[in-house]
Structure 1
Amino acid sequence: MEEKKKPEIHFSLIESMIIMVIMFVILGTMIIGMRMSPQIPILFVFTLLMFYGHFRKVSWEDIFNGITEGITPGIIPVLIFLMIGLLVSSWLASGTIATIMVIGFKILSVKFFLPTVFIICGIVGITVGSSFTTVSTMGIAFMGIGHILGFSNALTAGAIVSGALLGNNLSPLSDTSNLTTGLTKVNLYKHLFNMARTIAPSAIIALALYFVMGNASHTADLSRINEISNSLEHSFAVSGWSLLPILVLLLLAWRQVPAIPSLLLGTITALILVIVRDPAYGVTRISALLMNGNIAKTPSHTVNELMTGGGITNMLGSVSLIIVALALGGLLIKFGVVHTLIDSIKPYVNSPGKLILFTEMSGAGVNLMVGEQYLSIILPGTTFKSSYDRLGLDRKYLSRTLATGGADINALVPWGVSGIFFSGTLNVDALQYIPMAFYTYINPIMTVLAGFTFVTWRYRKNLAKAGSVQALIQDSGEMDEEDKAKALKALPIK
Structure 2
Amino acid sequence: MENKKLKPTTLQAVSPLAIMIVLLTIGVGFMKLRAEPIILICATFAAIIAQKLGYTWDELQKGIIEKISSALPATLILWSVGLLIGSWMFSGTVPMIIYYGVELINPRFLYVTAFLITAVLSTVTGTSWGSAGTIGVAIMGIAQGLGMSLPITAGAVVAGSYFGDKLSPFSDTTNLAPLAAGSELYEHIKHMLYTTVPASIAAIIVYLVVGLSAESSSASTESVSIIQNQLSGIYNWSFILIIPVVIMVVGSIMKFPTLPTMVINSLISVVIGVFVQGFTLKNGFISMINGFNVTMSNFDGEVLKDITTLINRGGAVSMTTTTVLVFCSMGFAGIMSTSGMLDVVLEAILKRVKTAFGVILSTIASCFTVAFVTGNSYLSILIPGELFRKIYLERNLHPKNLSRTLEDSGTVLVPLIPWSAAGAYMTVTLGVDTLAYLPWAVLNYMGIVFAIILAMTGIGITKITDEEKEKFLIAEGEK
TM > 0.5 fold call: yes
Closer, same or farther: CA 37–237 of 1 in aligned 2, 3 Å: farther
What is the deviation of 1:455?
Answer: 4.2
Please name the residue that 1:271 is paired with: 270
Q: Structure 1, residues 116-156: CA drift from partner, whole Å, max 9, x if none?
A: 11011100000000100000001100111111212222111
| Aligned counterpart in structure 2 of residue 289 of structure 1, from 287, 290, 298 | 287
Please name the residue that 1:250 is paired with: 249
Please name the residue that 2:75 is paired with: 78
Please tell me the residue identity of whatever aligns with 2:59: D
Q: Report the 3-state secondary structure (helix = DSSP H, G, I; strand = E; otherwise coil) of the residue aligned with 2:312.
A: coil
Please name the residue that 1:427 is paired with: 431
Please tell me the residue identity of whatever aligns with 1:276: F
Q: Report the 3-state secondary structure (helix = DSSP H, G, I; strand = E; otherwise coil) of the residue aligned with 1:348.
A: coil
| Aligned counterpart in structure 2 of residue 473 of structure 1, from 463, 469, 473 | 469
Please name the residue that 1:492 is paired with: none
| Aligned counterpart in structure 1 of residue 17 of structure 2, from 7, 11, 20 | 20
Please name the residue that 1:391 is paired with: 395
Q: Structure 1, residues 441-470: CA drift from partner, whole Å, max 9, x if none?
A: 0011111211221348754xx6xxx5xxx3
Please name the residue that 1:378 is paired with: 382
Please name the residue that 2:107 is paired with: 110
Q: Report the 3-state secondary structure (helix = DSSP H, G, I; strand = E; otherwise coil) of the residue aligned with 1:211.
A: helix
Q: Report the 3-state secondary structure (helix = DSSP H, G, I; strand = E; otherwise coil) of the residue aligned with 1:431.
A: helix
Please tell me the residue identity of whatever aligns with 1:438: V
| Aligned counterpart in structure 1 of residue 59 of structure 2, from 59, 62, 70 | 62
Q: Report the 3-state secondary structure (helix = DSSP H, G, I; strand = E; otherwise coil) of the residue aligned with 1:121.
A: helix
Deviates more, 1:322-331 or 1:44-53: 44-53
Aligned-residue RMSD, C-alpha: 1.9
In 2: Cα distance, 1:44 partner to 1:457 partner:
42
Closer, same or farther: CA 75–485 of 1 in aligned 2, 3 Å: closer
Q: Structure 1, residues 85-124: CA drift from partner, whole Å, max 9, x if none?
A: 1000000010000111122122211111100110111000
Listed as ranges, the gaps of 5+ residues in structure 2 are: none
Closer, same or farther: CA 7–229 of 1 in aligned 2, 3 Å: farther
| Aligned counterpart in structure 2 of residue 96 of structure 1, from 93, 96, 99 | 93
What is the deviation of 1:9?
Answer: 4.2
| Aligned counterpart in structure 1 of residue 314 of structure 2, from 310, 314, 336 | 310
What is the deviation of 1:482?
Answer: 4.1
Please tell me the residue identity of whatever aligns with 1:188: L
CA contact (8 A) 1:389 1:484 kept: no
Please name the residue that 2:418 is paired with: 414
Please tell me the residue identity of whatever aligns with 1:481: I
Closer, same or farther: CA 448–484 of 1 in aligned 2, 3 Å: farther
Deviates more, 1:286-295 or 1:242-251: 286-295
Please name the residue that 1:227 is paired with: 226
In 1: Cα distance, 2:199 partner to 2:474 partner:
36
What is the deviation of 1:485?
Answer: 9.5
CA contact (8 A) 1:186 1:395 kept: yes
Please name the residue that 1:360 is paired with: 364
What is the deviation of 1:440?
Answer: 0.5
CA contact (8 A) 2:292 2:314 kept: yes
Please tell me the residue identity of whatever aligns with 1:387: I
In 2: Cα distance, 1:8 partner to 1:100 partner:
58
In 2: Cα distance, 1:405 partner to 1:429 partner:
21
What is the deviation of 1:185?
Answer: 2.9
What is the deviation of 1:50?
Answer: 2.3
CA contact (8 A) 1:86 1:290 kept: yes
In 1: Cα distance, 2:17 partner to 2:114 partner:
37
In 2: Cα distance, 1:472 partner to 1:419 partner:
40
Q: Give the structure-2-normalised TM-score.
A: 0.94
Closer, same or farther: CA 100–22 of 1 in aligned 2, 3 Å: same
Deviates more, 1:309-318 or 1:122-131: 309-318
Please tell me the residue identity of whatever aligns with 1:398: L
Q: Structure 1, residues 317-338: CA drift from partner, whole Å, max 9, x if none?
A: 1111111011111111112111
Q: Give the structure-1-normalised TM-score.
A: 0.91
Closer, same or farther: CA 394–268 of 1 in aligned 2, 3 Å: same
CA contact (8 A) 1:9 1:336 kept: no
Does 2:172 match 1:175?
A: yes
CA contact (8 A) 1:70 1:331 kept: no
Q: Structure 1, residues 177-207: CA drift from partner, whole Å, max 9, x if none?
A: 1111222232211111111121111100111
In 2: Cα distance, 1:274 partner to 1:456 partner:
51
Please tell me the residue identity of whatever aligns with 1:285: N
In 1: Cα distance, 2:166 partner to 2:22 partner:
32
Listed as ranges, the gaps of 5+ residues in structure 1 are: 487-494
Runs of 4+ in 1 over 6 A off after TM superposition: none
| Aligned counterpart in structure 2 of residue 448 of structure 1, from 447, 452, 462 | 452
CA contact (8 A) 2:273 2:279 kept: no
Closer, same or farther: CA 484–57 of 1 in aligned 2, 3 Å: closer
Q: Report the 3-state secondary structure (helix = DSSP H, G, I; strand = E; otherwise coil) of the residue aligned with 1:397.
A: helix
